[in-house]
Chains A and B, each alone.
Chain A
Amino acid sequence: MQNAGMNIEDKGGDKLVLHVGPQHPGSGHFRLIITVDGDYIVGAKPDPGYVHRGAEKMAEYRDYIQNIPHLERPVIIDATGVTLPYVLAAEKIIDVEAPERAQYIRMIMAELNRVISHLYWLGIYGIFLGHSTMFMWPMGDRELFIDLAESIGGTRVTFSYVVPGGVRNDMPTHFKERALKTFDYFEKRIEEYKKIFFNNPIMTARTESIGIMSQADAIKLGITGSNLRAAGIDSDTRKDEPYCLYDRVDFEIPTRKEGDSYARCIVRLEELQQSMNIIKQVLDLIEPGPIKQVIGGVMRGEPGEAFVRTEAARGTMFYHIVSNGEKYPYRVKISVPSFRNLIGMTHLLVGSKLADMPAIYWSLDYWPVEADR
């Protein structure tokens, strides 16, 4: 196990240095250099960058519309979540505003994407704990939500659906009935998930009081998203700084006090229900109307800057766009939740057992492609 050019100290002796990833069933496109002493992890060093493409640099060579499909590539399982803040920031720079119906449809898409992303996470978490059924079930049920999103966006995962000024096209007419049918089915499934996984004594034994992130640590380290909420802080950009029309719907922010892996699981499970709840309310509120403010010619931003944050599936997604009046943005800075949560991984892994590594690692919902951009 030769390391390639990085300063990794292989101390030898009792301690084993394990390279978890990038070719390891328990990692993504990501390497975790773990030093174990017996069964305990005494050192952990994340080594991201295996799927780094330089999205920020490439965004400087694309105009505002071309950037949408480009920027959703890092997080294809949460495509709306990653493009929505970009579009909102671009709208500020171009100075347009989307009509009401478009805002509602954006919310539907964002929440559908949150469900899709969380179900993906749940499936992987199941297999990380060795529960193969919990891998297959969410992956199967995820298809239903993908079908719903496909009926709006046109493609299965990379929708490129939200554009500056509105959304690309309207919802299908029978979307409401289809969605409600799916939700009814899925709410029953959640009960089955609880029976087989969340209330499974072995699962709770594996995750409870494992990887405890205290409230103070979570704030200090800049943890975001469900991980922050599992540490007891009810911070959610949808409530803190409502974008789209989130201030018109009524939903709860699931929180837990414990801050352990199990709390992070349960928070995500409850967020699934809240997302469906939001979509149901939006489907009642939404009214016919225009879906796009048409922008003539090439989009040109005014000189200036905008920074926008939204709540994507993994946490707060932040865009900082600087424009100098050209066709292309001058600088696009993306701050992704996975990258910010990465610092928590080192913090939690050191001192835990090697067998807890998957239980902690994936409970943070770290998505290597998103972190690397």
Chain B
Amino acid sequence: METFEEFVKRILTILFWLIIVLPIIIFPILFLVVGLLGIDVIIVNEILTAAIDPLKAIKLAERYGLGFSSTFFKIAVFPGFTFAALIATFTILYERKLLAKVQLRVGPLYAGRFEGILQPIADLFKLLGKELVVPEKADKMFFWAAPILSIGLAASLLSVIPLSPTIYIARSEFSLLIPFAILGFSPLVVLIAAWASSNKFAFIGGLRALHQLAAYEIPMLLSILGIVILTGSFDLMKIVEAQKDIWFIFPQFLAAIIFYITILSELERIPFDLPEAETEIVSGWLTEYTGMHFGLLQLGVYMKFYALALLFTLLFLGGWNGPAFLPPIVWLLGKLFFVITIIIFPRAVLPRLRMDQLIRIGWAWLIALSFINIFIAVIESSLGII
């Protein structure tokens, strides 16, 4: 048995020799081979130099259509998937820290020197290292499909939501409606996950999720209708532009509240976390998921979180509008941070509702209120307030 010190020493020795050997022996041989084979040396040269020089790497990427303005970069990195995943992981950490502060605890502390800032990464490695358990009686295809569908849907939600007048993946005349159309799929994902697990608790959780999502999607749609009436457009860009003078949270306060409540429900957060109510039905429709399956489902939920918080910011808080001394994206992210905070906060102070209470709030109260809100919007529109 070698001791840990010996192990580290060995690794360091290998690294040392690699650093010595690579430039002295391997690179000349590589160049020789490349030259003899007659490959365009410049490309190889560029790739090799780009490996050490990030600036050159960017140039290289731009030349091959992968630069900052390319569609691929927009979808995969910023403002697309990677950015959203980063915000999602940040949200998880922020939620844990915020809850800990409310509950007189410290929360994640040790991963990363400062306040456990690397905890999400540690969690990611923990989840990656876990065994993927697929129950014997599970429907294998659906069981595997659910996490992938979940994260796919969450990512596609972001496709048409702009971050600033210049930062967006795609523009559409109906960029307000498309996210809601995609949200319509989420009950299906829950159904697939719950049914594939072939577990009674998962089944009950899935049924609850279906009830809940169906009950809250309608008020969610109706609540944004007021804004559509006021702006006469389904385009998020135009909606944000219309808020240059006054944020819609003021004339459409009722809508903002309804939208906020439905966000909580759509994300299955306390007080609406019945599909995952752990003291009743273990973990609801997530019961049988382990390891990275669970990690993907969780990441999907938090990316949905990010998308909905972003929508709230754009619809009610004026999006990127703000005094010009800061760039628009900073304004947007600042407001987004605030919205994420208020979405997280009920978890610290509220218990869980019961199914019948939740359904009653959804079907009876929120729908009625959103119709009232539509009337308010019509009145405001006809009086020319906006």
Contact = CB atoms under 8 A, between A and B. Distances in A.
Contacts of A356: 354
A36 B204 CA distance: 10
B9 interface: no
Interface string B350-367: 111111110000000000
B103 A132 contact: yes
Contacts of B277: 130, 355
Interface in A45-96: none
A133 B352 contact: no
Contacts of A299: none
Contacts of A196: 349
B274 interface: yes
A39 interface: yes
A129 B281 CA distance: 13
A1 B200 contact: yes
Contacts of B104: 136-137, 140
Nearest to A27: B279
A200 B200 contact: no
Interface in A30-54: 36, 39
Contacts, number: 89
A25 interface: yes
Interface in B64-96: none
Interface string A311-354: 00000000000000000000000000000000000000000011
B364 to A, nearest CB: 14
A137 to B, nearest CB: 7
B347 A355 contact: no
B354 A353 contact: yes
A344 to B, nearest CB: 19
Given A1-B200, A24-B282, A137-B103, A355 B274 contact: yes
Contact of B356 (A140, A353, A357): A353
A223 B347 CA distance: 35
A6 interface: no
Nearest to B354: A355
B105 interface: yes
Interface in B113-127: none
Contacts of A159: none
Interface string B196-224: 00001101100000000000000000000
Contacts of A36: 204
A22 interface: no
A202 B361 CA distance: 12
A59 to B, nearest CB: 34
A205 B357 contact: yes
A306 interface: no
B99 interface: yes
Contact of B347 (A17, A26, A127, A132): A132
A215 B356 CA distance: 28
A144 interface: no
A31 to B, nearest CB: 14
A25 B354 contact: no
What secondary structure prevails in chain B residues at the interface with A?
Answer: helix
B264 to A, nearest CB: 12
A206 B270 contact: no
A206 B353 contact: yes
Interface residues of A, number: 35
A202 B355 contact: no
A171 interface: no
A367 interface: no
Contact of A354 (B203, B280, B349): B280
A370 to B, nearest CB: 20
Pick from A25, A39, A202 the residue with the most CB of B within 10 Å.
A202
Contacts of B200: 1, 16-18
A206 B99 contact: no
B103 A200 contact: no
Contacts of B271: 130, 202
A128 interface: yes
Pick from A1, A131, A203, A353 the residue with the most CB of B within 10 Å.
A131
Contacts of B278: 25-26
Nearest to A362: B279
B282 A25 contact: yes
A26 B276 CA distance: 12
B282 A130 contact: no
B102 interface: yes
B350 A200 contact: yes
A154 interface: no
A224 B307 CA distance: 52
23 contacts: A16-B200, A17-B200, A18-B201, A26-B278, A129-B352, A130-B271, A130-B273, A130-B350, A132-B347, A134-B351, A135-B103, A136-B103, A136-B104, A137-B104, A140-B104, A200-B349, A200-B350, A202-B271, A206-B352, A353-B356, A354-B281, A355-B354, A358-B280
Top 3 closest pairs, chain A to chain B, by CB: A130-B352, A26-B279, A136-B103
Interface of B: 99, 102-105, 200-201, 203-204, 270-271, 273-274, 277-283, 347-357
Given A26-B280, A126-B351, A133-B99, 20 more contacts: A18-B201, A26-B279, A128-B279, A129-B279, A129-B351, A129-B352, A130-B273, A130-B277, A130-B352, A131-B349, A136-B104, A200-B350, A202-B352, A205-B357, A206-B357, A353-B355, A353-B356, A354-B204, A355-B354, A355-B355
